[in-house]
Amino acid sequence: MTNISSRGSEDREPTKEELQLQMEDSRERLAQTVGEIKETVEEQYLAAKETITGVLDYREEFSKEPLVWSLGALSAGFALGYTMGYAHKKTKGSKRQSEISAFANSLVEELSTVGNNMVMPSINEKVKKLFGFDFSDLLDEIGSGSKPKTRRRTKTASKKKRATVKKRKKV
């Protein structure tokens, strides 16, 4: 019987006051944990904000070194353009395309449309004023893969030239 009575005291339900004390203790520990988390997050936020502010303040850095930044942007643009063009070229004939190559193809098409409709007319006009030739015609010629027609020397033309040179040396 002793076992039953001792087991009964262990299994007894806590009183209302004991439950309230446990709840209040849990609330205090929870509030303390939440406070610690807030402090940690706040510190991390401030550190990230400081880092990002330094990185994103590129205007000041650009004004100090405009040539370096311009060359960097040019290099990045060239590298990205070359990479996208290569991906576009490699997948042009294949039937199966990955998501990246599909993205490259759509990007190339969009940029081509924008370039041909907005950028190219302005550039063509300025090149025509400065240098006196039609830039878009030149690009079309390059794009079609045709070479400008050049006269090839024939064997008789080479012999005539040699004969002319020899005559000049004699005189």
Residue range 16-66, pLDDT digits in tens: 899 999 999 999 999 999 999 999 999 999 888 887 776 667 777 788 888
Residues 6+ apart with CB under 8 A from 104: 84, 87, 88, 91
pTM comes to 0.30
Average pLDDT of 116-142? 84
CB–CB of 135/128 below 8 Å? yes
Does residue 139 share a domain with residue 97? yes
Residues 62 and 93 in one domain: yes
User: Which one has a higher pLDDT value, 155 or 109?
Assistant: 109
pLDDT, tens digit (0-9, with 9 covering 90-100), for 103-121: 777 877 888 888 888 888 8
Domain extent, residue 46, equals 14-55
In a domain, 99, yes or no: yes
pLDDT beyond 50 at 74: yes
Cβ proximity of 85 and 108 under 8 Å: yes
Average pLDDT of the chain? 77
pLDDT at position 2 is: 45
Q: Are residues 98 and 134 in the same domain?
A: yes
**Neighbour tally for 23: CB within 10 Å:** 10
End-to-end Cα spacing for the chain: 145
Looking at the structure of the chain, the number of domains it has is: 2
- The C-alpha atoms of residue 85 and residue 68 are separated, in whole angstroms, by 25
76/112 same-domain check: yes
Question: What is the arithmetic mean of pLDDT over 71-95?
Answer: 78
Q: Same structural domain for residues 51 and 72?
A: no
**Interior angle at CA 113, CA 132 and CA 96, nearest 5:** 130
Kindly compute the dihedral angle of the four CA atoms of residues 46, 52, 58, 64, in this order, to the nearest 10 degrees: 60
Structure tokens belonging to residue 91: 């997948």
| Same-domain pairing of 34 and 90 | no
113-131 mean pLDDT: 85
> Is 80 exceeded by the pLDDT of residue 1?
no
Lowest mean pLDDT among 87-96, 102-111, 136-145: 87-96
d(CA 20, CA 154): 110
- Say what the pLDDT of residue 95 is: 66
